[in-house]
Amino acid sequence: MVAMPAVEGPRGRDDLIQAFLELDTPPGYKAELIEGEIVVAPPPDGAHETAFSLLNRQFMRKVEIELDISGNKGLITPKGRFIPDGTLSPVGHFEHADSWASATGVLLVFEITSTNPYKDREPKRRGYAAAGIPCYLLIDRSEGMVTLFTKPESEDYITRTQVEFGKPIDLPAPFSFTLDTAPLR
């Protein structure tokens, strides 16, 4: 992962956003703008993709409402431009959206830690809360924990539920099912 330093001031932010939008990353890499810093990450490893598939299958099988799940949707938040590992939204929510879309209306995002877990634990959590995304699910592979953040208020979530891999975690409505974390080990 490569990070470029933050630029101060409104003009600096505009220049940084423009530079970010013009990046030409190698195939498979993703670039995000996280709290004023450009972060470029390599393609995920096999364990990361397996965890994504396990989560995806549970959402598709257990949720009783129709959802779209995206693995690469660029979201504009007050804290930057993030690409969550998973974005759950109402069916058709992003059908006419550009590659970078407002996070408004997103029901849940999830991140599976990889090369820089700090970004997922702190700045991205704050960014998702600032965007008003109701649920943030963090699969922390280095800690062996699953954390569900709910009730966004200002720039953080006020409710946090954490379990070790292997323990179930209840997801609130509209998901309303118990996520099996055992396969994430």
Q: What tens digit of pLDDT does each residue of 98-154 get?
A: 999 999 999 999 999 987 899 999 999 999 999 999 999 999 999 999 999 999 998
Question: Long-range contact list for 152-158, CB < 8 A, 24+ apart?
Answer: 152/128, 153/129, 154/129, 154/130, 155/78, 155/79, 155/126, 155/129, 155/130, 156/125, 156/126, 156/129, 157/125, 157/129
pLDDT of 10 strictly over 60? no
pLDDT of 185 strictly over 80? no
pLDDT digit string, tens, across residues 39-78: 999 999 999 999 999 999 999 999 999 999 999 899 999 9
| Whole-angstrom distance, CA of residue 97 vs CA of residue 128 | 19
| Whole-angstrom distance, CA of residue 100 vs CA of residue 84 | 12
Record the pTM: 0.91
Cβ(55)–Cβ(86) under 8 Å?
yes
Sign for the pseudo-dihedral over CA of 78, 82, 86, 92 = positive
**In CATH, 44-184 is 3.90.1570.10:** yes
Where do the structural domains in the chain lie, given as residue ranges? 44-184
